[in-house]
Amino acid sequence: MSASPPSQAKLAVGKQAFIGLLWGGVAVSFCFVVFRGYIRLSLFRRLFVDDVLVLASWLMLLANAIVWEVAAGSMYTLVTVENGSVPPPADFDYQLTLFFHAQIAINLLNTCGIWAIKLSFMLFFRKLCHNVRGQKWLWWCVLVPTVAAFAICIGVYDWPCLIKSLAEIISYCPTPAAEAYSNLSLRIITGCDIITDALILTIPINLLWKVQISNRYKLALVALFSLTIFVMAVAIIRVVVAIGSGGGVDSSWLYTWGAIEQTTAIIIACLVSYKSWFSKDSHPKQRYTGGTSVHPLRYKRSNSMTKGSTMHDTTVEGGKNSFSSLGAEVVPLDTIHVRSEYAVGSDRDSLPPSTYVLADR
């Protein structure tokens, strides 16, 4: 996002709409964060690192809204003074300083919040990629450029127009060279954002080709991930419109859509967190999943004899390349019937040699 002073005759988004959209995004995304936490605690009785990253992103979105609650008036005052609508107020210098310095926190909160969601997706997909051939190398090929892109975005911000004194900002930032660098940095940041979104999107798309789930779930997941494509398109449009206006970068436009992007990313991350989307079974707690995430079925010979016995059948279903709620690959077998016989007694010689019982663990 640009750090140059807004130089339009009028900002594209009014102050009340701008603040309302910020707080509306905070409220809506909070509901989805609570939903994600409820799902995770219900299934696993704990939260994971990717859950913490989503919560951290929401807290940064909240902090962003609080900062704008304080600094938004300064941005709109600057525009009205520049276009001659009102004379400069007595505290105009203070409001300028507040606006420029507030952008330091705003830019960091927005960038870190968006990349926290990207890393949350990466950790989430890492569990799904467990024991799936060809997915681990793809995961690493996406993670490395994603982390590198975050460092690039932080490094190319127009920091001199944010951290210097007001006199230096006024004298340097409106120059053609400073505006050209500001536009270039905006393009670089947007490009890194779009490219990393596209890279991360290749992981679930690749999984959908490998996992055996119903077409209904596949269509739902495609629709869900298509929201990321919508965000990518918005990122392109906001830059083209903002820079193409010819009068400098419209800060209200950029920051509004930056907040919408972060809000949408949080919502998508919370919806995708319910891993039974990737499962054939809609009741993940009631199926055997194999792998290292659950205890495998184990057997031992009974050393006791019964005078009477009880018997039951346990059916465990699995399918090739299906995924459990923990992301582990199911044993590629058809329906397995486990016949267990329990006996009470002391005469071990009469026990049939083929009789087994499930071992307690």
pLDDT at site 87:
84
| Dist. CA 192–CA 130, nearest whole Å | 27
For 305-315, what is each residue's pLDDT tens digit?
A: 444 444 444 44
pLDDT at site 224:
75
Give the model's confidence band at 58: pLDDT under 50 very low, under 70 low, under 90 confident, else very high.
very high
* Phi and psi based region of residue 339 (left: phi greater than 0; alpha: psi -120 to 50; beta: remaining): beta
| Dist. CA 217–CA 160, nearest whole Å | 49
Give the model's confidence band at 27: pLDDT under 50 very low, under 70 low, under 90 confident, else very high.
very high
Two tokens at 99? 């606006």
**Lowest-pLDDT choice from 54-58, 211-215, 255-259:** 211-215
Per-residue pLDDT, averaged over 329-341, amounts to 45
Q: Is residue 144's pLDDT more than 90?
A: yes
Per-residue pLDDT, averaged over 326-346, amounts to 45
Burial string for 44-74 (b: 16+ CB within 10 Å, else e) reads eeeeeebbebbbbbbebbbbbbebbeebbeb
Two tokens at 307? 């005078």
Nearest partner of 275 among 27, 54, 42, judged by Cα? 42
Give the model's confidence band at 218: pLDDT under 50 very low, under 70 low, under 90 confident, else very high.
confident
CB distance 306 to 351 below 8 Å: no
For 67-93, what is each residue's pLDDT tens digit?
A: 999 999 888 888 888 777 788 888 888
Give the model's confidence band at 296: pLDDT under 50 very low, under 70 low, under 90 confident, else very high.
very low
| Dist. CA 269–CA 51, nearest whole Å | 9
**Lowest-pLDDT choice from 11-25, 50-64, 78-92, 109-123:** 78-92
Give the model's confidence band at 55: pLDDT under 50 very low, under 70 low, under 90 confident, else very high.
very high
pLDDT at site 328:
41
| Dist. CA 110–CA 108, nearest whole Å | 6
| Dist. CA 150–CA 169, nearest whole Å | 26
Q: Is the dihedral of CA 153, 154, 160, 164 positive or negative?
A: positive
Helix (H, G, I), strand (E, B) or coil at 300: strand
Residue-averaged pLDDT of the chain:
74
pLDDT at site 349:
52
Give the model's confidence band at 244: pLDDT under 50 very low, under 70 low, under 90 confident, else very high.
low
DSSP letter assigned to residue 1 = -
Q: Is residue 293's pLDDT more than 60?
A: no
For 249-280, what is each residue's pLDDT tens digit?
A: 678 888 888 888 899 889 988 887 765 455 44
Helical ranges in the chain per DSSP H: 15-44, 49-82, 92-128, 135-155, 160-163, 166-172, 176-210, 215-244, 251-272
Alpha carbon of residue 298 to chain centroid: 38
**How much is the pTM?**
0.71
Give the list of residues 6+ apart from residue 97 with CB closer than 8 angstroms, or none: 166
Give the model's confidence band at 325: pLDDT under 50 very low, under 70 low, under 90 confident, else very high.
very low
pLDDT at site 116:
96
Q: Is residue 326's pLDDT more than 70?
A: no
